[in-house]
Amino acid sequence: MIIVKIGGGEGINLQGIVHGLAQLKEKFIVVHGANALRDKLAEDLKQPKKVVTSVSGYASVYSDETMIDLMMMAYAGARNKRIVELCHQHGINAVGLSGLDGKVVQGVRNKAIRVYQDAKLKVLRDFSGKPETINKGLLDLLLDHGYVPVLTVPIIDEQNNAINTENDDVVSVLQKTMRAGTVINLIEAPGFLEDKDDEASLIKHIAAAELEAREQQVDGRMKRKMLAVRRLFEHGASRVIIADGRGEHPVADALSGKGTVIE
């Protein structure tokens, strides 16, 4: 089993990625983002994304009801269905699901986010949370009958509300349940970089044991990403590959060891 996460950046080569997925011999599950599309849609609809930074230093999108609608449109709507369309064009029998569908990804809504706004500490509650459980029965049902699940946010909370979450966390809980051997994360960079502004500073290998130390050296989203990778190993992954989703053959390149290979 392989879990393939496809980033939601503008430069991601969906066509190339799906072409590569069609060559895989193992079963796989796709998790994808759509942040560029969501941001563009929000801008076009004059509903700019609100980003808040929690007191513990994690930046996240503030998800009111309007933002959840936007996410449904961008992630579960246009992006998910265009990926599913591409999959079928490459012979992959894809079924696109948000976390709501069959409660395939269920989480717990954040009680409150403590944020600094205009230099003041505020307590906000939005429609966001953390994924906790995967409906393995539904995924196995699909996989056993030849379907490839293509998952995205939003997910569903314990009160059956649609909530936003980080796709990295979805991959983490998915890995915990499905125990993939390999997790591939296709992003808009050659892999993890020593210097985020220098694509030549690619870190080619990381030992899984190093992850915790590295996590302390970085901030914000990157910190969260490192933590997410560490959890994948805690949940039985033997190899995590962070690789470029922009090239001509992102999946084959990743599997041949380009990018950051963590094992």
Residue 14 touches a copy of itself, criterion: CB under 8 A: no
Residue 136 touches a copy of itself, criterion: CB under 8 A: no
Of 51, 57, 88, 204, the residue at the interface with a copy of itself (CB under 8 A) is 88
Of 1, 36, 59, 72, the residue at the interface with a copy of itself (CB under 8 A) is 72
Residue 63 touches a copy of itself, criterion: CB under 8 A: no
Residue 78 touches a copy of itself, criterion: CB under 8 A: yes
Residue 15 touches a copy of itself, criterion: CB under 8 A: no
Residue 80 touches a copy of itself, criterion: CB under 8 A: yes
Among the residue ranges 101-109, 114-122, 202-210, 213-221, the one whose residues contact a copy of itself (CB under 8 A): 101-109
Q: Report the C-alpha gap between 218 and 224 in whole angstroms.
A: 9
Of 61, 143, 162, 232, the residue at the interface with a copy of itself (CB under 8 A) is 162
**120 or 145: whose CB is closer to a copy of itself?**
145
Write down the least CB distance from residue 236 to a copy of itself, Å. 26
Footprint of a copy of itself on this chain (CB under 8 A)?
41, 44-45, 69, 72-78, 80-82, 84-85, 88-89, 93-98, 100-103, 137-138, 141-142, 145, 147, 154, 156, 159-162
